[in-house]
């Protein structure tokens, strides 16, 4: 109870061990617990303040080199935030690429053009823009801070997703059609085939399975069952059986991705004549000279999943429980266990055209769904559901860039003092007439009248 009360479930990014330690410290010493839990907040406020101040000084500094240095400091603060979010690679890229290579390029261009300092003597006619921007930013920060403080955003849980269901045909039977509440759900599912996930509303459904193309009004169903779905369920219905006796097996899929460089693996025994099977790895015997990965998988019984190292090609075998050393029932050769996938292995009976029966190794792989709020999920939503708003924002940013270029044009800048007339010096040997700019009247020589005229 105290784990939930003192932060065990509030931050899903924290590891379970850290949350247990934090809660245990609270029980042992409440003051120590508060100090340790407040450390992250204090460090975040300090680094965040440095990031904001460095960004502000970057904008107001009149020396371009100083602005670049403040920008490097801002990049360092962002890299620190990535470290606190357990993303060291992105933090390294932030420092090496942005604070390193790109800023060196900026400084090179600044020094090459000799634009270290802003040229004085000119004032922009839009002097009110910085003050207006400061007021708007202040109002924005106050509004967002008030909303975050009063909204208790850290206590909100993501809404449960709608139930998702798929069907796998692993029975010794021809293609089938699956109906839910007398409505066609999927049709023409072949042996070894796995359908895509379909979203359904939460509730109870009556499941009937018919041979492909059969008329439900005149023919009897091969399988009858009931399916109860709740929000957040990810279910796989597997049709198993042989010799005219069939049934549906419900498997609860784990939509979350496995750990780094790992794949999730499970097995289903769809052999009616084999009471239990083992999944073995003939290539990796353990220290006690056994190769069993998953043991005693009974017929049509779900088993626990197993996390294994990802591999592009791996060989696994299925053997009957208690028959170690005998020939395996089926072998999965060059099995791809890719990183971040859920892999379902099914040992199913297959009727060959010759009339003989063999055990078919069925492998169904599915990429795990991205975590709520993860970059993958944000990218999927951004480029599917929110593609039009994303493009509209791009157009607005382009218009803002064009507006910034127009506002910075030289002909919109008024001079703070009038120009001085430029006097052109006469050349050597030229007439004594004074050369001036076209804005002045030329000086004519004065002729003295001669005596007697």
Please give the Cα distance from 42 to 37 (Å, whole number): 9
Q: What is the predicted pLDDT for the residue at 305? A: 86
Cα–chain-centroid distance for residue 37? Answer: 27
Q: What is the predicted pLDDT for the residue at 200? A: 92
pLDDT digits (tens), the chain, 453 positions? 333 333 444 444 444 444 444 555 455 455 454 555 577 778 888 988 899 888 888 888 878 888 888 888 999 999 898 888 777 888 888 888 888 888 888 877 777 776 655 555 555 566 777 777 778 878 887 887 787 677 665 555 667 788 999 999 999 989 999 999 989 999 999 999 999 999 999 999 999 999 998 888 888 888 888 999 999 899 999 999 988 888 999 999 888 888 888 899 999 999 998 999 998 888 654 444 457 888 889 998 888 888 888 888 888 989 888 877 678 888 898 889 998 899 999 999 988 888 788 888 899 998 877 766 667 777 777 777 778 877 887 788 777 777 766 665 554 445 445 556 655 566 565 555 544 445 454 555 555 555 454
CB proximity list for 240: less than 8 A, separation 6 or greater: 170, 171, 246, 247, 248, 249, 268, 270, 272, 299, 300, 348
Joined together, the tokens standing for residue 104 give 């060196």
Please give the Cα distance from 233 to 388 (Å, whole number): 30
How many CB atoms within 10 Å of residue 400? 10
Joined together, the tokens standing for residue 404 give 């910034």
CB proximity list for 416: less than 8 A, separation 6 or greater: 121, 122, 123
> pTM for this one?
0.56
CB proximity list for 161: less than 8 A, separation 6 or greater: 231, 232
CB proximity list for 116: less than 8 A, separation 6 or greater: 63, 64, 65, 110
Domains present along the chain, CATH in parentheses:
2-155 (1.20.120.1200), 162-253 (2.60.40.1120), 255-386 (no CATH)
CB proximity list for 442: less than 8 A, separation 6 or greater: 433, 434, 435, 436
CB proximity list for 10: less than 8 A, separation 6 or greater: 154, 155
Q: What is the predicted pLDDT for the residue at 189? A: 93
CA distances from 15 to 8, 20, 43, 276 (A): 9, 9, 19, 37
Joined together, the tokens standing for residue 58 give 């970057």
Across 120-156, b (16+ Cβ under 10 Å) vs e yields: eeeeeeeeeeeeeeeeeeeeeeeeeeeeeeeeeeeee
Contact 437, 422 (CB under 8 A): yes
Q: Which residue has the tokens 């090179």?
A: 108
CB proximity list for 110: less than 8 A, separation 6 or greater: 64, 65, 68, 116
Beta-sheet strand order (sheet of 311-320): 292-298, 276-280, 311-320, 330-337
Joined together, the tokens standing for residue 209 give 């399975």
Contact 179, 207 (CB under 8 A): yes
CA distances from 289 to 231, 280, 281, 282, 431 (A): 44, 12, 11, 11, 114
Task: Give the residue from 244, 90, 250, 230 showing the smallest Cα distance to 166.
Answer: 250
Q: How far apart are the first and last CA of the chain?
A: 126
Please give the Cα distance from 451 to 453 (Å, whole number): 6
Please give the Cα distance from 407 to 413 (Å, whole number): 9
Q: What is the predicted pLDDT for the residue at 447? A: 54
Contact 307, 258 (CB under 8 A): yes
């Amino acid at each position: 109870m105290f784990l939930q009360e003192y932060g065990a479930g509030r931050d899903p990014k924290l590891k379970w061990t850290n949350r247990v330690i934090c809660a245990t410290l609270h029980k042992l010493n409440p003051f120590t617990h508060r100090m340790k839990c407040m450390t992250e907040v204090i460090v975040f406020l300090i680094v965040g303040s440095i990031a904001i101040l460095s960004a502000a000084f970057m904008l107001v500094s009149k020396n371009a080199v100083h602005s670049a240095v403040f920008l490097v400091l801002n990049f360092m603060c962002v890299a620190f935030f990535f470290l606190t979010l357990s993303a060291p690679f992105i933090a390294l890229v932030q420092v090496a690429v942005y604070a390193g290579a790109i800023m060196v390029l900026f400084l090179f261009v600044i020094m090459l053009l000799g634009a270290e300092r802003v040229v004085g003597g000119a004032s922009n006619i839009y002097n009110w823009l910085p003050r207006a921007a400061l007021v708007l930013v202040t109002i924005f920060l106050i509004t967002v801070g008030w909303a975050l403080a009063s909204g208790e955003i850290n206590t909100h849980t993501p809404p449960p997703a709608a139930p998702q269901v798929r069907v796998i045909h692993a029975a010794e039977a021809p293609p089938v059609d699956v109906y839910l509440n007398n409505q066609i759900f999927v049709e023409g599912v072949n042996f070894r085939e796995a359908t895509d996930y379909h979203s359904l509303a939460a509730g109870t459904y009556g499941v009937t399975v018919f041979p492909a193309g059969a008329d439900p009004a005149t023919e009897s169903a091969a399988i009858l069952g009931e399916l109860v779905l709740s929000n957040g369920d990810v279910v796989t219905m597997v049709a198993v059986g042989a010799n005219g006796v069939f049934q549906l097996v419900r498997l609860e899929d784990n939509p979350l991705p496995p750990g780094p460089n790992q794949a999730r693996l499970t097995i289903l025994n769809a052999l009616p004549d084999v009471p239990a099977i083992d999944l073995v790895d003939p290539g990796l015997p353990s220290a006690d000279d056994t190769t069993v990965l998953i043991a005693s998988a009974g017929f049509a019984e779900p088993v626990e999943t197993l996390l294994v190292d990802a591999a592009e090609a791996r060989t696994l075998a299925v053997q009957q429980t208690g028959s170690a050393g005998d020939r395996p029932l089926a072998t999965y050769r060059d099995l791809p266990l890719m990183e971040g996938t859920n892999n379902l292995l099914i040992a199913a009976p297959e009727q060959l055209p010759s009339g003989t029966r063999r055990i078919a190794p069925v492998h169904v792989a599915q990429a795990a769904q991205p975590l709520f709020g993860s970059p993958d999920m944000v990218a999927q939503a951004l480029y599917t559901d929110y593609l039009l708003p994303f493009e509209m924002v791009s157009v607005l940013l382009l218009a803002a860039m064009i507006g910034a270029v127009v506002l910075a044009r030289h002909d919109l800048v008024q001079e703070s003092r009038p120009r001085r007339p430029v006097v052109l010096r006469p050349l050597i040997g030229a007439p004594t007439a004074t050369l001036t700019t076209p804005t002045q009247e030329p000086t004519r020589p004065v002729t003295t009248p001669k005596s007697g005229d």
